[in-house]
Amino acid sequence: MAFSLVAFLDYLEKEKNFSRHTVLAYQNDIRSFFQFNDKNLGGKPDTEISYKDVRAWLGFLSNQNFDHKTINRKISALKSYFKFVIKIGEREDNPMKGHHTLKIAKKAMTPLSLDEMRDLLDHLHFPETYSGVRDKLILDLFYHTGMRRSELIQLKIHDADLGSKTVKVLGKRNKERIIPLTNSICVSIEKYLTLRNTMYTVGHNFLFLTDKGNMLYPQFVYNLVKKHLSQVTTKKQIGPHILRHTFATHLLEGGANLNATKELLGHTSLAATQVYTHTNIAELKKVYQNTHPRKNVKPT
User: How far apart (Å, rounded) are the C-alpha atoms in residues 300 and 33?
Assistant: 64
User: How far apart (Å, rounded) are the C-alpha atoms in residues 250 and 261?
Assistant: 10
Active-site residue, from 228, 244, 245, 262? 244
Q: Which long-range contacts (CB under 8 A, 24 or more apart) does 34-43 make?
A: 34/1, 34/5, 36/60
Active-site residue, from 26, 143, 192, 276? 276
Residues in the chain: 300
Contact criterion met (CB below 8 Å) for 47 and 90: yes
110 phi/psi in degrees, rounded to 5: -90, 120
Active-site residue, from 73, 91, 241, 278? 241
User: How far apart (Å, rounded) are the C-alpha atoms in residues 135 and 137?
Assistant: 5
Active-site residue, from 172, 175, 286, 292? 172
Q: Is 241 a catalytic residue?
A: yes
Active-site residue, from 74, 134, 144, 148? 148
User: How far apart (Å, rounded) are the C-alpha atoms in residues 80 and 57?
Assistant: 17
Active-site residue, from 74, 134, 228, 267? 267
Q: Is 267 a catalytic residue?
A: yes
Q: Is 262 a catalytic residue?
A: no
10 phi/psi in degrees, rounded to 5: -65, -40
Nearest to 215 by CA among 155, 262, 172, 269: 155
Active site residues: 148, 172, 241, 244, 267, 276
